[in-house]
Structure formats: C-alpha cells, structure tokens
Structure 1
Amino acid sequence: MRKGFTLVEMMIVMMAIALLFLLTIPNIAKTVTVIETSGCKSQVSLVDTAILQFKLENQKYPKDLDDLIAAGFLIEEQRFCQNGKEIIIESNQARIR
C-alpha cells in the first residue's frame, strides 16, 4: 500500500486555506483604513503645531501652507496625507480638504 494524500484530501486542505484567506481580507482592508485615518489626523496635528510655532516667531498666523514651508516649519510632502487628501489652513487651524 502506497503512503500519501489522495486528491480529495488535498482539495479539502486547499479549500480550508482558501476559506481562511477569504476571512482575513476584510480585516486587512479595515486595518488599512484605520491606519490611513489615524495617519491623516497625526499629520493635521503636526501642521497645527507648525502654525503655532509660526505665530510665536512671527507674531501673525500663516496665510497658507506655503508660508509654513517657506519658513522651514514644514516640507512640501507634508502638504498631503498618506491617502492623498490635501491639508489646508482655515481659521488659523489645519483642516483636511
């Protein structure tokens, strides 16, 4: 008698692996969304801090992000969140457009 797995046994194992894979996909997608959202909130908080630093050094608020970049408080890449949304200054606070 030969030892080994039958085709049916292999198919059952493959189906079990596929089922486990399908169950993890929604969790991965949800985690990516949470990471992007929290990353964008952190970016807005960073810009708010830069606004306050600009105010302390210049006795006025910046008009836009270009003022913060020109003064060296931010770099050009910090103008956008990881998900591509733009950060703007509105009423002296950072907001997501």
Structure 2
Amino acid sequence: MFLFKKLKKNEGFTLIEMLIVLLIISILLIVIIPNISKQSENVKSTGCKAQVKMVAGQVEAYTLKHDTRPSSVEDLVNEGYVNQNQLTCKSGERITIQNGEVTSS
C-alpha cells in the first residue's frame, strides 16, 4: 500500500506556475532589450574615439622616427604603423589627418 501511494504522488509545476514564470521573463526582456539597443550607438562612438586616439599615438611614433608629421594616414599605412582596416570605425566614420590632427568624419 505504501508503494502505491508513493507512485501516485505527483510533484511538479502546474501550468499556471509555468505561465507566471514565462510572463515575468517576458516582461524583463521587454524592459531590457530597448536599453541594450540604445547603448549600441554609444559603444560605437566610444570605440571610434579610442581608435582615433590609437592612430594619434601612431602619428606620434611616426613623428619621432621621421622628425616630421605624416601628411596623410596613407603615410602611416605605407610605413606599417596602422592597417588599412584600422582607418574606418565601426560606425562607418573614416579616420583622417587634417592640419596635423587626427579626426574622424
């Protein structure tokens, strides 16, 4: 008799409990996903600023070696200070040298 009661005992989650958990997870996702997409643009902007600083550092290295500032970013590429793919940010902005300053546009 004891064995029969043990087999008959059903433990688990009910359908209502599962639906409540799914509802809570859905609400959290609805709140979190828009915030993540808003931060994507900020991350791209910050990444581009860091890339501009890296190229500016390479301009200084070029200047120390050649005793003159590079006239364009192509001078840095030709000398091997930066790669061609490092001259474009993830946001699509192109890194250039204007009046001796590294900028992105």
Q: TM-score, normalised by structure 1?
A: 0.82
Asked whether 1:91 is paired with 2:99, we answer: yes
What residue number does 1:16 align with? 24
Q: Secondary structure at the match of 1:12?
A: helix
Following superposition, the deviation at residue 55 of structure 1 comes to 1.8
The one of 41, 45, 65 aligned to 1:57: 65
One-letter code aligned to 1:62: P
Asked whether 1:30 is paired with 2:38, we answer: yes
- Equivalenced residue count is 97
Instruction: Give the direction of change, closer, same or farther, for the CA distance of 1:6–1:68 in structure 2 (3 Å limit).
Output: same
Stretches of structure 1 that go unaligned for 5 or more consecutive residues are: none
Identity percentage of aligned residues? 32
Please identify the structure whose Cα radius of gyration is greater: 2
What residue number does 1:74 align with? 82
Stretches of structure 2 that go unaligned for 5 or more consecutive residues are: 1-8
Contact 1:51 1:93 in 2 (8 A): no
In 1, the alpha carbon distance for the partners of 2:30 and 2:98 equals: 43
Cα distance per residue 1:14-44 (max 9 Å; x no partner):
2211100111112222333332222111100
Q: Secondary structure at the match of 1:95?
A: strand
**CA RMSD of superposed structures (Å):** 2.0
